[in-house]
Chain A
């Protein structure tokens, strides 16, 4: 396929889902349910195939297209580019794959309300594809809002559920405010540079010392993306939204939407600001923020009884780990983060769908109400525990490979606490999931008794009419996702391909030159080390064993020896304060949003004065 033809694939990935969604809007109420399902799932599969083709054709270079024929002249242009390197194409593929699984899961039983659900999912797909491929910062804002509009409606979709609509409202207000901060940053930067395309911005800012305006623009622009990414303290909305959205939507939220925020931050940094803001500054900023996010997410995760909130906090905690991978600002850390994202998307998606099945069968997602109720099932427990082990980072899941690469990268940069943090955080979050699974599928642990008033109960409206048997259309996506999470770690030369992709992502100068002048991409490092190491495998096994330990701690907390009980009691006031802060009140979230912008600006800006 010629590069021109490959360039045409880029807008098709966005325009095709929109066309089909418009068709569903126009005639959806008149079509039989099967036609709607086939159209939507078929489109998602088609987009997945096209993205796979794009990845194959693009790797290991980049595919560039300027819309309307407005190619650059003298390194400036009036038009908008889409630029796909292997990371963007890989994300486009991940988005398509997850959407296909989600739509297959929703087949037939999920109440679609005249095709509205499927239309919204396709708009969501188009928004994510556009965001991943765009090379213009205002265009990224526009597709960010496309994602947002579809996501707010999908979150509140179950309108009879009081927490769903409240969660959707909190999500909408906080994410929109974050986007407006981004737009402010775009305006400020536009005043300085006079262009909106990422390549032109990078061109104009390169090699000039960053003054207050450039730093402020960077901080403001990435604020919106980091709100989407649920970095602390922008994270409050995520638990609310994930807890109430229908299960197939949660797969997309946790699997790729949140990670797109981090992708946006990385892309804007590397292309526009990579040659002006010193790397050490950014590295320190995001290491601190990433570590905080990871620890806070893990601690909140372990103390939840609402299964989807538990998984949501686990996502926040893993995002902290991905941020640390990005913060290494080198190919190894970035490759590790990419692999971790792939593995996590598979196993976390599977977990959300399994919890969705529990909801549809038993009418609740409360860990304590489900105690022992799913005993005797045949396939689901295997899938649940496989996913939990993947979450812990057991080799050969993709999560383990990603973790090991980031752990190595942190050691290279002198952060000796890196591996310990990764092991602990993944063990705590996976321990919470294992604890829940052991309670639900095996009835282990004592009968739960106390009522914790400061935690959300797991009451939720089911997604479908009460199920007695789990249909095949729900089982297949779960299996596909678990296998996908596994595949990310075992595909031969997969690590090397991802390492090359990471190198491309970091090469901002190459992006600029290829987009503006069609310069050929620079050659890549021939033998990147991106494979399993003994240390990595060892740490993965340790994480898994520790996860079982934490699970046991959660189940048999009453039976601990007296001194340990005193220690755990000492934590209780801290946990009560933390739970109180996560109040579900949108005013709190906005207040913390402003504090977060200030912290980010301080961490980036103050060392540069």
Chain B
């Protein structure tokens, strides 16, 4: 279809969808209301399971199956990206020379912030059940923190600290741990993803049952997975060349 016909078709369809949404939104409960049925059930449930961060409780305890599916999407996408960005038959990977020309100040800031970011990331992962945060958020901080090496250093510097086979193992182990904890729930507590460790005291590091364990598993998986995805994209840009070029 020509661009104009396409636009006309979209204007008809989009206009009607806009009308549909408008009519629906006008019947929605008003923004900022105080009746929230699910919240009234979720907060007491979180307190019963000694979890101070109710969002983490919903994510890993009450609606843990959703998070299981979500982390499966992540690892499937990592594998998918790795498969899609593999060097094609007529391509090879070349070695990148270690010539980086970043400013000294950039390099200094990068090398200072790298351990800080990693520590913050670990903190966000480990305390996900008592403060805002959790495995996903902390994992992303860890992954991007690691890439400070690339931003303020050079690609070979990043490459040296990033053994991809190890990251694949960590990725797989993290995701598998989630499944294993779930299955342990069947074996020891009567239901998939049911709690199997003691609850501890409210607000402490050791509380909320299996939630911190799942947080760590997800944190490992997200860290390794995002590093792997970024590695594939960087490789495509930096190291993969058509055979014969250089």
A contacts, CB < 8 Å to B: 4, 8, 10-12, 14-15, 18-19, 21-27, 29, 65-70, 76-80, 82, 113-114, 116-117, 119-120, 123, 126-127, 130, 136, 138-139, 142-143, 145-146, 149-150, 152-154, 156-157, 159-160, 165, 168, 184, 188, 190-196, 211-213, 216-217, 219, 580-581, 583, 585, 587-588, 590-598, 601-602, 605
By the criterion CB–CB under 8 Å, are A591 and B9 in contact?
A: yes
CA of A68 to CA of B64, assembled, Å: 8
| Residue on A nearest B171 in the bound complex, by CB | A25
Quick check: is B108 within 8 A (CB to CB) of the other chain?
Answer: no
Cβ–Cβ < 8 Å partners of B73 in chain A: 142, 145-146, 149
Given contacts A67-B194, A146-B73, A213-B24, 11 further A-B contacts (CB under 8 A): A11-B65, A66-B191, A68-B193, A70-B62, A76-B37, A79-B62, A79-B63, A139-B69, A149-B77, A216-B20, A594-B17
| Residue on B nearest A583 in the bound complex, by CB | B1
By the criterion CB–CB under 8 Å, are B84 and A67 in contact?
A: no
By the criterion CB–CB under 8 Å, are A22 and B75 in contact?
A: yes
| Residue on A nearest B88 in the bound complex, by CB | A160
Question: Which stretch, B130-138, B155-163, B180-188, touches the partner chain A?
Answer: B180-188
From B27, B62, B64, contact of A213 by CB (8 A): B27
Cβ–Cβ < 8 Å partners of A190 in chain B: 38
A471 shortest CB reach to chain B, Å: 23
B182 shortest CB reach to chain A, Å: 6
Interface string of B48-87 (1 = CB under 8 A from A): 0000000000100111111011101101111111111010
5 contacts between A and B (CB under 8 A): A25-B168, A80-B66, A116-B83, A184-B21, A211-B27
**Interface of chain A: mostly helix, strand, loop or mixed:** helix
Quick check: is B173 within 8 A (CB to CB) of the other chain?
Answer: yes
By the criterion CB–CB under 8 Å, are A142 and B69 in contact?
A: yes
A194-B36, A592-B9 known; A150 vs B195 contact (CB < 8 Å): no
Cβ–Cβ < 8 Å partners of A156 in chain B: 84
| Residue on A nearest B61 in the bound complex, by CB | A68
Cβ–Cβ < 8 Å partners of B180 in chain A: 19
CA of A14 to CA of B69, assembled, Å: 9
Cβ–Cβ < 8 Å partners of A595 in chain B: 9, 12-13, 16
By the criterion CB–CB under 8 Å, are A146 and B69 in contact?
A: yes
By the criterion CB–CB under 8 Å, are A142 and B186 in contact?
A: no
Quick check: is B150 within 8 A (CB to CB) of the other chain?
Answer: no
Cβ–Cβ < 8 Å partners of A154 in chain B: 80
Quick check: is B89 within 8 A (CB to CB) of the other chain?
Answer: yes
CA of A85 to CA of B28, assembled, Å: 33
B84 shortest CB reach to chain A, Å: 6
From B45, B172, B191, contact of A65 by CB (8 A): B191
**Interface of chain B: mostly helix, strand, loop or mixed:** helix
Interface centre among A21, A138, A152, A219 (most CB of B within 10 A): A21
Quick check: is B14 within 8 A (CB to CB) of the other chain?
Answer: yes
Interface centre among A29, A70, A78 (most CB of B within 10 A): A78
Cβ–Cβ < 8 Å partners of A192 in chain B: 28-29
B38 shortest CB reach to chain A, Å: 5
Cβ–Cβ < 8 Å partners of B28 in chain A: 188, 191-192, 213
By the criterion CB–CB under 8 Å, are B42 and A78 in contact?
A: yes
B27 shortest CB reach to chain A, Å: 4
Interface string of B33-45 (1 = CB under 8 A from A): 0011110011001
| Residue on A nearest B194 in the bound complex, by CB | A69
From A76, A126, A127, A219, contact of B41 by CB (8 A): A76
By the criterion CB–CB under 8 Å, are A149 and B80 in contact?
A: yes
Cβ–Cβ < 8 Å partners of A12 in chain B: 183, 186
Quick check: is B111 within 8 A (CB to CB) of the other chain?
Answer: no
A246 shortest CB reach to chain B, Å: 12
By the criterion CB–CB under 8 Å, are A19 and B176 in contact?
A: yes
A235 shortest CB reach to chain B, Å: 15
Cβ–Cβ < 8 Å partners of B79 in chain A: 21, 25, 116, 119-120, 123, 153
By the criterion CB–CB under 8 Å, are A68 and B1 in contact?
A: no
By the criterion CB–CB under 8 Å, are A194 and B89 in contact?
A: no
Cβ–Cβ < 8 Å partners of A143 in chain B: 69
| Residue on B nearest A190 in the bound complex, by CB | B38
Quick check: is B118 within 8 A (CB to CB) of the other chain?
Answer: no
By the criterion CB–CB under 8 Å, are A596 and B13 in contact?
A: yes
CA of A18 to CA of B185, assembled, Å: 16
CA of A581 to CA of B25, assembled, Å: 33
By the criterion CB–CB under 8 Å, are A598 and B13 in contact?
A: yes
By the criterion CB–CB under 8 Å, are A67 and B88 in contact?
A: no
Which 3 pairs across A and B sit closest by C-beta, in order of nearness?
Answer: A153-B80, A26-B172, A194-B37
Cβ–Cβ < 8 Å partners of A159 in chain B: 84, 86, 88
| Residue on A nearest B1 in the bound complex, by CB | A588
Quick check: is B179 within 8 A (CB to CB) of the other chain?
Answer: yes
From B69, B169, B192, contact of A27 by CB (8 A): B169
By the criterion CB–CB under 8 Å, are B169 and A123 in contact?
A: no
Cβ–Cβ < 8 Å partners of A590 in chain B: 10
By the criterion CB–CB under 8 Å, are B84 and A581 in contact?
A: no
| Residue on B nearest A593 in the bound complex, by CB | B13
CA of A69 to CA of B182, assembled, Å: 12
By the criterion CB–CB under 8 Å, are B1 and A580 in contact?
A: yes
A20 shortest CB reach to chain B, Å: 9
Chain B contacts with A in 2-34, Cβ cutoff 8 A: 6-7, 9-10, 12-14, 16-17, 20-21, 23-29
Cβ–Cβ < 8 Å partners of B24 in chain A: 188, 212-213, 216-217
By the criterion CB–CB under 8 Å, are A130 and B69 in contact?
A: yes
Interface centre among B24, B26, B29, B88 (most CB of A within 10 A): B24
Quick check: is B237 within 8 A (CB to CB) of the other chain?
Answer: no
Cβ–Cβ < 8 Å partners of B17 in chain A: 594, 597-598, 601
Cβ–Cβ < 8 Å partners of A602 in chain B: 16
Cβ–Cβ < 8 Å partners of A68 in chain B: 61-62, 64, 185, 191-195
CA of A360 to CA of B228, assembled, Å: 33
CA of A126 to CA of B195, assembled, Å: 23
Cβ–Cβ < 8 Å partners of A593 in chain B: 13
A22-B75, A146-B69 known; A69 vs B191 contact (CB < 8 Å): yes
